[in-house]
Amino acid sequence: MATAPWWENAVVYQVYPRSFCDGNGDGTGDLAGLLARLPYLAGLGVDAIWICPWYPSPMADGGYDVADYLDIEPAYGTLHDADELSAAAHDCGLRVLIDIVPNHTSSRHNWFAAALRDEAGARDRYWFRAGRGPGGDAPPNDWASMFGGSAWTRVEDGLWYLHLFAPDQPDLNWQHPQVRSEFERILRFWFDRGVDGFRIDVAHGLEKDPELPDAGPRPAAGLLSITAHPAWDRDAVHEIYRAWRRVADEYTPGRVFVAECWVADNRRLARYLRPDELHTAFQFDLLKAPWRAAELRAVIDDAVAQAQAVGAPPTWVLSNHDTTRVVTRYARSQPDHPVEPHWERARWAAERADLDLGRRRARAAALLQLALPGTAYVYQGDELGLEEIENLPDNARQDPTWRQSGHADVGRDGCRIPLPWSAEHASFGFSPRGATAPPWLPQPAHWAALSVAAQTEDPHSVLALYRAALALRRIYWAGASGAIEWLETPSDTLAFRRGAAQCLVNFAPDSIDIPRGFRVVAASQPDVDRTLPTDAAVWLTPR
């Protein structure tokens, strides 16, 4: 009997390297810091780590503006450090996934430098076009940047170039054969160095309508998930991923891709997961769903059905480096419709957050996520119950969204604050003892109580819950069937069985009885025995 690929039931921990751990004391996280903390990750119980971009970058967008895909950002370390980290992770039993950013390069990439010099053919690798109107003074079309403002910037000779994100991130033209061949070379370069897979940034982008037509009026929220936009989720993108799959299949054991695809629905998402394309894709519907039983059940059913139809595992995520942290999302009012967790920040900023409520719900959501079939991704700090830090000083904000939106959108810095490891000194252990450089983003004083050291001493902490749940997941859920059997429960609750274990979640305002004949093997709140409080979850097995 064939063994299932490792990623089909894996838990993957997302590392945002600037904010994970600073090994050299300069206030920025690096590979040395990550290497030193590998025992923590192995002890947490995850199966793999996904490292956000570690390439040389001007950091106009936190590393997602790549200047060189075949090297390491000097502030993080060297290629030798990356090799050492990968080997050490494998020795700890951890697989290593890294980011690849194929939709755009940095404006400092040598290809774009050649394009600005107008070297022969260099502009064909990007989208340079003449403007509209008298003198070409208007952008070539009405496309908007995801960070605010126009998606076009004019260069000195009068032409315009496309950037669906920051002006520092010019979009590549994937109809150019050199773009395609270069990225296949990049994949092989890192596969040959031992990485186990890639998370594909903006995987639904890449191919644009070559006519570059106007998009027409679009709402600000949800632009990334509108199928009809001429820049997103075009059918031609799938041939790129068929070629990438052929590259991955050259390696034994097989390597894995996980796609960041903001698309209209799960039927569109499943197209990326056909047997000759990508292995997995993030299930953002779980992240976008309000904290209510009916909506979450519908999301789970649709996601599982669509993934199973193409033979791929569902891939669940509750937050990441682009979205409002799960504690803060659940600490505010729950709308009657799915939300876009990044673009809703402006609305949420006007509401008072009940962080105690948010943490209760986040703890329950963790047990729900880890009981579901497929792959689970955990964003760094979620295992500590960290919240979004929304009151950063304006002069500390670094996300380009803040600037490009005219200071209307505070951006994503609040979910990227450096982690607290201890309460011993100013950076809470993020930087080594004696370091004088402050962390690249300021940490709130109250995070001392949420540090790894503080939570390790507390058997009821969020960290203790994650450690216990990840260990128990291997026993009760990882080997269970992918089929979900929903159980009859009172309204405003969810319960399902997979194998012998059950997961029960209470969304109702009052406590509910736990079924007789079962014992609690994991609970999101302490001292749960015969009744389950509101906003809580348990795992049950027969007595």
Q: Are residues 156 and 79 in the same domain?
A: no
In this prediction, residue 223 carries a pLDDT of 47
355 within a domain of the structure (yes/no): yes
The number of domains in the chain is: 3
275 within a domain of the structure (yes/no): yes
Domain boundary among 430, 465, 500: 465
Q: How far apart are CA 26 and CA 18, in angstroms?
A: 11
168 within a domain of the structure (yes/no): no
Give average pLDDT by consecutive 10-residue segment, the chain, 543 residues.
83 98 97 98 98 97 97 98 98 98 98 98 98 96 92 97 97 98 98 97 96 80 61 96 97 92 91 96 93 96 92 95 94 70 56 88 98 97 96 91 85 95 90 93 95 96 98 92 91 94 97 95 95 97 93
Q: Are residues 453 and 490 in the same domain?
A: no
Q: Are residues 138 and 257 in the same domain?
A: no
Q: How far apart are CA 515 and CA 520, in angstroms?
A: 10
In this prediction, residue 220 carries a pLDDT of 47
471 within a domain of the structure (yes/no): no
| DSSP type of residue 23 | S
In this prediction, residue 400 carries a pLDDT of 87
Q: Are residues 146 and 209 in the same domain?
A: no
Q: Which residues are catalytically annotated?
A: 201, 250
Phi-psi region of 369 (alpha: psi -120 to 50; beta: other; left: phi over 0): alpha
477 within a domain of the structure (yes/no): no
Q: Are residues 155 and 189 in the same domain?
A: no
Residues written for the chain: 543
476 within a domain of the structure (yes/no): no
Q: Are residues 391 and 425 in the same domain?
A: yes
Of 260, 192, 204, which Cα lies nearest the Cα of 14?
A: 260
Q: Are residues 383 and 514 in the same domain?
A: no
In this prediction, residue 424 carries a pLDDT of 78
Give the type of residue at 176.
H
Of 140, 139, 141, 116, which Cα lies nearest the Cα of 126?
A: 116
Element (H, E) at 248: helix 237-248
Query: Where do we find the tokens 């803060």?
Result: 328
Q: How far apart are CA 325 and CA 335, in angstroms?
A: 17
Residue 218 and residue 144 in contact, taking contact as beta carbons nearer than 8 Å: yes
In this prediction, residue 106 carries a pLDDT of 98
Q: Are residues 259 and 285 in the same domain?
A: yes
| DSSP bridge pairs for 504 | 495, 538
Q: Are residues 347 and 496 in the same domain?
A: no
SS (H, E, C) 256-317: EEEECCCCCCHHHHHHCCCCCCCCEECEHHHHHCCCCHHHHHHHHHHHHHHHHHCCCCCEEE
Write down the pTM of the prediction: 0.95
Strand 375-379 with 485-486, pairing: unpaired
Which residues make Cβ contacts (< 8 Å) with residue 285, sequence separation at least 6?
A: 266, 299, 302, 303, 338
CATH number assigned to the domain comprising residue 138: 3.90.400.10
Query: Where do we find the tokens 């299949």?
Result: 249
CATH number assigned to the domain comprising residue 536: 2.60.40.1180
> Phi, psi (5° rounding) for residue 400?
-60, -20
- Collapsing DSSP to helix, strand or coil, 200 comes out as strand
Which residues make Cβ contacts (< 8 Å) with residue 476, sequence separation at least 6?
A: 499, 500, 501, 521, 539, 541
Q: How far apart are CA 253 and CA 245, in angstroms?
A: 13
Of 133, 138, 143, which Cα lies nearest the Cα of 215?
A: 143
Structure tokens at 333: 């009012």
Instruction: Quote the Cα angle for 223-228-231, to 5°.
Output: 65
| DSSP type of residue 199 | E
- Collapsing DSSP to helix, strand or coil, 164 comes out as coil
Q: How far apart are CA 413 and CA 403, in angstroms?
A: 12
Structure tokens at 346: 């402006």
Task: Centre a 10 Å sphere on the Cβ of residue 290 and count the other Cβ atoms it contains.
Answer: 18
473 within a domain of the structure (yes/no): no
Expressed as residue numbers, the domain containing 494 is 484-542
Q: Are residues 18 and 75 in the same domain?
A: yes
Strand 501-506 with 536-542, pairing: antiparallel
- C-alpha Rg value of the chain to the nearest Å: 23
Query: Where do we find the tokens 């370091």?
Result: 435
421 within a domain of the structure (yes/no): yes
CATH number assigned to the domain comprising residue 67: 3.20.20.80
Q: How far apart are CA 55 and CA 40, in angstroms?
A: 24
Residue 232 and residue 204 in contact, taking contact as beta carbons nearer than 8 Å: yes
In this prediction, residue 499 carries a pLDDT of 92
Q: Are residues 134 and 94 in the same domain?
A: no
Q: Are residues 70 and 137 in the same domain?
A: no
